Structure 1
Amino acid sequence: MTADDLAFADVVELQRLLTAKAVSSVELTELYLKRLETYGPVYSAVVTILHDRARREARRADRERVRGRVRGPLHGIPYGVKDLLATPDAPTTWGAQPYRAQHFDFDATAVRKLSDAGAVLLAKLAMVELAGGFGYGDADASFTGPGRTPWNAKFWSGGSSSGSGIAVAAGLVGFAIGSETSGSILFPSTACGITGLRPTYGRVSRHGAMALCWTLDKLGPMARSARDLEIVLAAIAGADPRDPTAVDVPLTAPRRRPRIAVLKNATKGAMPAVAANFRASLKALATFADIAGEVALPKGPWGPVVGTIVDAEGAAAFRDLIESGKSRGLRNADDKLGGYVAYATPAVDYIDALRQRAKLNAALEAAFAGYDAIVSPTLHTVTYPVGIPFDKAYPKFGGGPSLIAPGNLAGLPAIALPNGFGPNGLPTSVALLGRAWGEATLTAIGARYQRATDFHTKRPPLTTGRP
């Protein structure tokens, strides 16, 4: 097995190699550290590489393995986290210039749980400043610079979990942790051609994570395969006294043939390649699942309701930043002003959005009852070029129904699975929206799909030169 083969192996394969003593955790860690140093700056993937911590944890994992103590399937596996998760080893910058020197003296709960599982933390990964809460309109929205997809460095990696998507796609980590408020795991997973899971709201503790929107924020795994997602989620899920929204719910899937509905008009406004890849995905899914016709997304102001909630809660989360004027130190032109716009959200609009949310969520639950998942293209286009405003990138496409805002508003889980390529060699993906606490069903569907396809095994054409 070559170094590249090792770097791009999924967690299950890496653990098999560690168990067989074909590689040690220290050797694997050194390989990834070198790749982070080589490729991280090219694609704007990294904030801080944690050399000392990574080597310390890798040595611990190897010592424990020699003594016969293996903590589980993540023992000795190196990973990275989006830089909104607290660690004491480096600044936790939230992707934003005003917080570049911010330090915490503890590990976020998700980081602590991964450490307890024997995983090896390599790096704090880049992200869009403040997780995009102030309304950025182009890719240049982090002090680390625009995240670039390893498939074509002239195009955006997606956000706000930009570094997490890049690092997994480029073989810089074994897996990564991202976060999603409204698309921040699913978008970079698509743009970078990896597999990503947004868990049910409350599945994973957010203690030690930057708060953007308390009633929408979720942490989740980003990896090279669906089987990896299930392993990582099992390690980070569960109740936490420091986060009263986090609860214990079993990760189980029903032992029957999945029943999947197709979102009505799913490919309306989509690029031809996105539509074609979606049709091919349906054929692959139909080999092991019942494709049970179409279901329409209930009509309603999904996007505006999400936007109002994010504005109001985000302005409260960053009130000091806005009132002090320090938000003008943000990088993106829209973000410099967006906090003030959010700050002006009337309380009546926020209360009305919460009332609308309850009605919309009930309608969504009724429409999707009886299905294990609803399938649609994750995005209607490939990712955007760097240097062009998002709304100018693909004026002929978009406008079709999307499950990203409805799924996040309802706190439902979703998985993004690579399903092909479109213009400029850029990846596309298919998404499945599941029922509350149905992550195991989604990962099981994803694993079956990935046994029938090989898109998740494709490797990007990496470069060491700046685009």
Structure 2
Amino acid sequence: MTTSHATNEPPAGPAVSGDSEVHYAGLLEVAARIRDRELTPVELTEALLARIEQIDPTVGGYATVTADTAITQARTAEADMQAGRYRGPLHGVPIAVKDNIFTAGVVTAAGSTIHSDHVPSYDSTVVQRLAEAGAILLGKLQLTEGAFAEHHSSVTPPRNPWNPGYWSGASSSGSGVAVAAGLGFGALGTDTGGSIRYPSAANGVTGIKPTWGRVSRHGVFALAASLDHVGPMARSAADAGAILGAIAGADPRDPTAQAVPVPDYLAGLDASVGDLRVGVDRSYNETGVDSETIRMLDEVVAVLRHMGVTIVEVTLAGATAINALWPRYAGVETALAHHETFPSRASEYNPVDTPGSIAGLIALGHTVSGTELMRAHHQRLAFTSGLTHTMRDVDVLLVPVQPTTSLTLAQKDSLYADAEALTDFLRFVTPFDMSGNPTITLPGGFGEDGMPLGFQFAGRAFDEELLIRLGDAYQRETDWHLRHPEL
């Protein structure tokens, strides 16, 4: 595969017949054309399946393609629309989900061999809700083993469509790759320690890690239950907001899914953001961070000020300390999630001493005492409370996704081999998994190597609406989210 380069022109509007760029259009753009009957769900689905067949062998985003299901759902969507039954912006739109999310009758392997023959008898709540919204399921997207750091040795990792020599992110690698490569108009990922945010940044797409409890986890393989989040990845904040609106909300099958009203995330996008206050902790954001990432953040601040947003200097107390606790805290919960298969089937996992292996995380979890875990839990509660206090004075925080620009595969391997360096690399993502606060990751430019750069806004609990509105406003002022690899 040759190296891909950014194109400075926005994607052409879709017109399936003879238009090679249909796959790079936005979700809401194709939704509008479907609603107006300028194109049909069947045409669109057939076009995406054809592209997957052509392109996915090169990038490897999919674990399973559900072509027959997709065509059946597309025909149903088309019949519904012809009968005047329009369900909303996802109706007739092809998307895909991460392969740790249960799909009835379709293998859900979670990037592992221990679940390679696992065929759920039911859909997860999020897949059920996507179906109720009329979305078309193209298939299941590849991920790292058990949704931790490294891919299982039996899995060929998805390749970054901008340049295959670079990391595609973890753990929702296939989700980021598929959206960036035009193999679906959106995807679901999961995030326990940056697993929506890293692939979004690495592949130049938009991702939302919702508030913990905003989206049901019923029918999703756990990594660390109290840290796991399910959320959308798409080409824009508005597109991701449309998906979140379909999957969010209380669920009697998941008592941790909170009974908090789900707003219409698209209704207020035209509202001004000029009254917003964005907090920036420059010491936290810039210490040990490379110059290109700092430059990107400075450019984001300039755009925000141009939009009338007020920048407020804040101190994000305790974030570094809470990040240092994440591996052991997550390790205990991961050990619990895998108690039926580890150590009894340890030989089927990547070896414990493999850098970035989930077996290593489980083994770490087994070394943590109850006293140590409870001490970490108390620090987690204190950090969450302190973050709530900090955000009384600001609406949103501006934070990097990672301390460096895009990683080459060699740099990724070196990072994984150094536990201390890997923990440091996590420092901008794990605090918001520990607190449960929502974040939105947005494309923020390109590095000197031509690879995408990303940043995140973090918000108050259950205030995804504001993050989506601010993200959409930023994307109206910039065109980074419109650029795509040439495949």
Same fold at TM > 0.5: yes
Equivalent position of 1:465 in the other structure: none
CA drift at 1:280: 1.1
Contact 1:189 1:416 in 2 (8 A): yes
Q: Where does 1:382-397 land on structure 2 (aligned, <5 Å)? A: 382-388=405-411, 389-391=413-415
Paired residue for 1:243, among 225, 237, 254?
A: 254
Instruction: Please tell me whether the aligned partners of residues 111 and 151 of structure 2 are also in contact (alpha carbons under 8 angstroms).
Output: no
Matched, 1:231 2:256: no
Aligned AA for 2:35?
T
2:306 is the alignment partner of 1:290 = no
The answer to whether the Cα contact below 8 Å between 1:82 and 1:126 also exists between their aligned partners in 2 is yes
What is the one-letter code of the residue matched to 2:469? Answer: A
Partner of 1:218: 229
**Gap change, CA 1:251 and 1:47, over 3 Å in 2:** same
Contact 1:261 1:371 in 2 (8 A): yes
Which one of the candidate residues 396, 400, 407 is aligned to 1:373? 396
CA contact (8 A) 1:149 1:157 kept: yes
Relative distance call for 1:30 and 1:142 in structure 2 (3 A) is farther
429 and 289 in structure 1: CA distance in 2 versus 1, 3 angstrom threshold: farther
Q: Report the CA distance between 1:196 and its aligned residue.
A: 0.5
User: Within the alignment, does 1:264 sit opposite 2:275 as a pair?
Assistant: no
What letter corresponds to residue 356 of structure 1 in structure 2? Answer: Q
Cα–Cα, structure 1 residues 330 and 393, in superposed 2: closer, same or farther, change >3 Å?
closer
Give 3-state SS (helix, strand or coil) of 2:21's partner. helix
> Does 1:329 find its partner at 2:349?
yes
Distance 1:442 1:338 in 2: 32
Q: Distance in 2 between matches of 1:222 and 1:112?
A: 18
- The C-alpha deviation readout for 1:19-71, integer Å capped at 9, x for no partner, is 22221111111111122222223222111000111011000001111111111
1:224-274 per-residue CA deviation (whole Å, 9 max, x = no partner) reads: 011111111110000100000112323457976211111222233223222
1:292 to partner: Cα distance: 2.9
Q: Which amino acid aligns with 1:315?
A: A
Deviation string, structure 1 residues 388-443 (Cα, Å, up to 9, x no partner)? 42428999999699431221111000001101011421100121010001100000
Asked whether 1:79 is paired with 2:104, we answer no
Distance 1:370 1:82, change over 3 A: same
Note if contact 1:203-1:437 (Cα within 8 Å) is conserved in structure 2: yes
Deviation at 1:309, TM superposition (A): 1.8
Q: Which residue of 1 aligns with 2:333?
A: 313
> Residues 197 and 401 of structure 2 are in contact (CA less than 8 Å); yes or no, is this contact kept in structure 1?
yes
Q: TM-score, normalised by structure 1?
A: 0.92
What's the CA shift for 1:360?
A: 1.5
Distance change in 2, residues 1:82/1:289 (3 Å): farther
The equivalent of 1:168 in structure 2 is 179
Q: How does 1:338-357 map to 2 (within 5 A)?
A: 338-357=361-380
Shift of 1:87: 0.7
- For residue 442 of structure 1, the aligned residue among 464, 467, 472 is 467
Match of residue 431, structure 2, among 377, 387, 406: 406
Q: Is the 8 A contact 2:328 2:364 kept in 1?
A: no
**1:181 to partner: Cα distance:** 0.6
Q: Distance in 2 between matches of 1:249 and 1:45?
A: 34
Question: Is 1:113 matched with 2:129?
Answer: yes
Identity of matched residues, % = 35
CA contact (8 A) 1:79 1:175 kept: yes
2:136 and 2:19 mapped to 1: Cα distance? 19
114, 118, 124: which one pairs with 1:98? 114
Do the aligned partners of residues 264 and 345 (structure 1) sit closer, same or farther apart at CA in structure 2, a change above 3 Å counting?
A: same
Q: Determine if contact 2:104/2:122 at 8 Å carries over to the other structure.
A: yes
Which of 185, 205, 208 lines up with 2:196 in the alignment?
185
Q: Distance in 1 between matches of 2:308 and 2:112?
A: 44
Question: Relative to structure 2, which stretch is displaced further, 382-391 or 271-280?
Answer: 382-391
Select between 445-454 and 276-285 the one with higher mean Cα deviation.
Answer: 276-285
Distance 1:397 1:180, change over 3 A: closer
Q: Tell me the CA shift for residue 378 of structure 1.
A: 1.9
Partner of 1:41: 57
Name the residue aligned to 2:6. none
Q: Structure 2: where are the runs of 5+ without partners?
A: 1-14
**How far, CA to CA, are the matches of 1:203 and 1:155 in structure 2?**
32
Contact 1:114 1:236 in 2 (8 A): yes
**Pairwise CA distance, 1:331:** 7.2
Which deviates more, 15-24 or 209-218?
Answer: 15-24
Shift of the 390–236 alpha-carbon distance from structure 1 to 2, 3 Å rule, reads farther
Q: Runs of 5+ in structure 1 lacking a partner?
A: 463-467
Task: Name the amino acid aligned to 1:427.
Answer: P
Q: Report the number of matched residues.
A: 457
Call closer, same or farther: CA 1:114–1:185 in 2, change over 3 Å. same
Aligned partners of 1:105 and 1:393: how far apart in 2? 39
**Residue 126 of structure 1 aligns with which residue?**
142
Give 1:387 deviation, angstroms: 4.2
Cα RMSD over matched residues? Answer: 2.3
1:205·1:240 contact (CA, 8 Å) conserved in 2?
yes
* Aligned partner of residue 36 in structure 1, secondary structure: helix
Instruction: Show the 5 A alignment for 1:149-164.
Output: 149-164=160-175
Distance in structure 2 (CA, Å) of the matches to 1:144 and 1:325: 18
Compute the TM-score of the two structures, normalised by the length of structure 2. Answer: 0.89
**Alpha-carbon separation, structure 2, partners of 1:370 and 1:238:** 28
Distance 1:285 1:327 in 2: 51
* 2:415 aligned partner, one-letter code: D
1:360 alignment partner, one of 383, 390, 395: 383
Deviation at 1:327, TM superposition (A): 5.0
Shifted more, 119-128 versus 17-26: the winner is 17-26
Distance 1:196 1:380 in 2: 18
